[in-house]
Amino acid sequence: MGTKTVSDYSMLDHATQSDPYEFYALLHEECPVYHMPETGFYMVTKYEDMRRVLKDTDIFTSDVRRTVGLQGDGNTNIYQEILADRGWSHVQTLQRTDPPEHTRYRKLLDRVFTAKRVRGMLPYIEDVTNELIDGWIDDGEVEFISKFAMPQPGIIIAEQLGLDRSQVGTFKKWADAMLATAIKPLTEAQIRATAEIELEAQHFFAKVFEDRRTNPTDDLMSGFVHAHGDDEEPLTMHELQNLMHQLITGGFETTQSALAHSMWLLLRHPELQTRLRDDPSLIKNFVEEALRFESPVQGLSRMTTQDVDIGGITIPANSMVVVRYGAANRDPDKFECPHQFDLDRKNAGAHIAFGMGAHFCVGAMLARQEMISAVTHIVRRMENIRLAKEMSDPVHDTSLFFLPIREMYLAFDKIT
Ligand code: HEM
C-alpha cells in the first residue's frame, strides 16, 4: 500500500473506480465513514455500518429526490420534461420508495418474481447459455462480453419483457440509455439524445402492457399488469414504466458484470477451471465468492432525514449517503483476508452484493441461476481458457456505482 493516504484517492477518478480496493482498505483503517471532498457525499464502507444504514429506512431514505444527483437540477428537469411531454416522466416506485409505500410495490413484484417462476425458467436459462456458447465454441476464441456476458442476461430479460431474441441489440441500447444518467454527468445534448431513446422503449412497453391487459400470457409483463388482488389498485402506466426502468437498469448491466468478473477470476486463477470442472458442486460457492470479491454494484445512494451518528461521524440531515456494497464485502472484520479470492471461504454467502433488508434484490435468484448455468457450461465445454489480448487499463469503464467490463478477448480449447 506504500505511503499513500486517503486524500491521494478520489472516487471520481477512473483508476480508483476500476480498482478501488486499496482505497477501501485505507478507509476501513482510517475513516470508515468518509466525507467525499469532491461531492460532499458520505461514503459508508464497513459491513456493520452498512447493515445499520440499509435496515433503518426512516433515517436513511431511498427517496433521494431532494438531493442534486449527478446531472444537476437543470439537466434532470430537461430529461423529465421530454418524458412527460411525449411519454411517461419518472415516478418514484419500489427502489426509490421506503416502507410502507415500498411494501405495496414489493408485494406486487414478489407475486411475479416467485421462486417457482425462476425454477421453471431453469431449462430455458440452460438453453440460452448453451446456444450462445454453440455460436463460437468451434472458433477457439471469442470476445466474451459481446458474445456471452451481455447477451445471456440480455436475451433472458428482453424475452421476459416481450421482445424477441433478435432484438437484444435494441434492448441493450435502451438499457444503456436508462443507465446513462446514473453513471456520469452528461451534456445537455447527451441528455436530450438519451431521453429520446428512453421514449422509444417506453412506447414499446406501453403497447405490450396494453396487449397483456386484454390478452394475459405467462410472461413478466402480463404478471405486472395483473399482479393486484381484487381489492387492490392496479399499477398505473407511470408505475409500470418505472418498474420496467428498474428491472432493466437493475438486472442487466449487473448480471453482465457478474458474468464478466466470474470469467476474469477463472483467468486469474486458472486452477479453478479444473477444480470446478472436476467438482461442479463447488460452483455455487464460486458464484457467491465472485459476487463478494467483485461486487457488480459497488455502491448506491440513500439520503439522511435527520442528523445521525454513524461510525463516530455525524452526518447532517439531507446528506447524500453512498452505501458501498463493494467495500463492505471486503471488510476484514467480516471476511478473513478479504482481498484474497477463496473458493472454500465458509461465509462467502454472507456478502451483501444483492443488498440487505427491504430492498434486497428482487432478481437475486435469477441472477444466481444465470451465473451458475454460465460457469457450469463454460468449464464443462472448454478448458485452458486464457486471455488472447491484454485487458484494457483501467479494466473497467468509468462509473461511480458499477464495475462495467467492456472487452475480454479469450482463447480456449474445446473439450470434445
Ligand atoms: C448479479 C446481478 C445483480 C446484482 C449484483 C444486483 C444488486 C442489487 C442490489 C445491491 C440491490 C439493492 C438496492 C438498494 O438497496 O437500493 C438490488 C435491488 C434490485 N434489483 Fe438487483 N442485482 C442483480 C440482478 C438483478 C436482476 C437480474 C434483476 C431483475 C431482473 C434485478 C432487479 C432489482 C430490482 C427491481 C431491485 C429493487 C428492489 C427493491 O427496491 O425492493 N436485479 N439489486
326 lines ligand 1 (CB under 6 A): no
Residue nearest to atom 8 of ligand 1 (CA): 354
The pLDDT of 319-339, averaged and rounded, is 97
Dihedral-angle region of residue 225 (phi above 0 means left; psi in -120 to 50 means alpha; beta otherwise)? alpha
Say how many C-beta atoms besides its own lie within 10 A of residue 321's C-beta: 25
* pLDDT tens digits, one per residue of 149-189: 999 999 999 988 888 888 889 999 999 999 888 777 889 99
Q: Could you give the number of structural domains in the chain?
A: 1
Q: What is the 3-state secondary structure (H, E, C) of the chain?
A: CCCCCHHHCCCCCHHHHHCCHHHHHHHHHHCCEEECCCCCCEEECCHHHHHHHHHCCCCEECCCCCCCCCCHHHHHHHHHHHHHHHCCCCCCCHHHCCCCHHHHHHHHHHHHCCHHHHHHHHHHHHHHHHHHHHCCHHHCEEEHHHHHHCHHHHHHHHHHCCCCHHHHHHHHHHHHHHHHHHHCCCCHHHHHHHHHHHHHHHHHHHHHHHHHHHCCCCCHHHHHHCCCCCCCCCCCHHHHHHHHHHHHHHHCHHHHHHHHHHHHHHHHCCHHHHHHHHCHHHHHHHHHHHHHHCCCECCEEEEECCCEEECCEEECCCCEEEECHHHHCCCCCCCCCCCCCCCCCCCHHHCCCCCCHHHCCCCHHHHHHHHHHHHHHHHHHEEEEEECCCCCCCCECCCCCECCECCCEEEEEECC
Question: Which is it for strands 320-323 and 300-304: parallel, antiparallel or unpaired?
Answer: antiparallel
Cell numbers of 97, please? 420508495
Residue nearest to atom 6 of ligand 1 (CA): 354
Strand partners, 402: 297
pTM, to two decimals: 0.95
Q: Is the pLDDT of residue 339 over 80?
A: yes
Asked if residue 1 is part of any domain, the answer here is: no
* pLDDT tens digits, one per residue of 34-46: 999 988 999 999 9
Cα 1 to Cα 19, 78, 170, 224, 359, distances in angstroms: 13, 44, 44, 50, 35
CATH code, domain with 305: 1.10.630.10
Question: How high is the pLDDT of residue 112?
Answer: 87
- Its domain, for residue 331, covers 6-414
Question: How high is the pLDDT of residue 106?
Answer: 95
Question: How high is the pLDDT of residue 181?
Answer: 83
355 lines ligand 1 (CB under 6 A): yes
d(Cα 59, Cα 303) in Å, to the nearest integer? 8
What is the CA(255)–ligand 1 centre distance, in A? 10
Radius of gyration of the chain (CA): 21
Residue nearest to atom 24 of ligand 1 (CA): 251
Edge-to-edge strand list for the sheet holding 141-143: 141-143, 409-414, 382-387
Spatial CA neighbour of 258 closest among 329, 343, 353, 169: 353
Q: Which of 254, 287, 372 to mutate to test the pocket of ligand 1 (most atoms within 8 A of CB)?
A: 254
Percent of the chain whose pLDDT exceeds 90? 81
Spatial CA neighbour of 317 closest among 109, 101, 66, 19: 66
Atom of ligand 1 nearest to the CA of 297: 5
Question: How high is the pLDDT of residue 93?
Answer: 93
Task: Give the pLDDT band (50/70/90) at residue 66.
Answer: low
What is the CA(326)–ligand 1 centre distance, in A? 14
* pLDDT tens digits, one per residue of 225-283: 998 888 888 899 999 999 999 999 889 999 999 999 999 999 999 999 999 999 999 99
297 lines ligand 1 (CB under 6 A): yes
Atom of ligand 1 nearest to the CA of 366: 27
The overall average pLDDT reported for the chain is 94
> Max CA-CA distance within the chain?
66
Asked if residue 303 is part of any domain, the answer here is: yes
299 lines ligand 1 (CB under 6 A): no
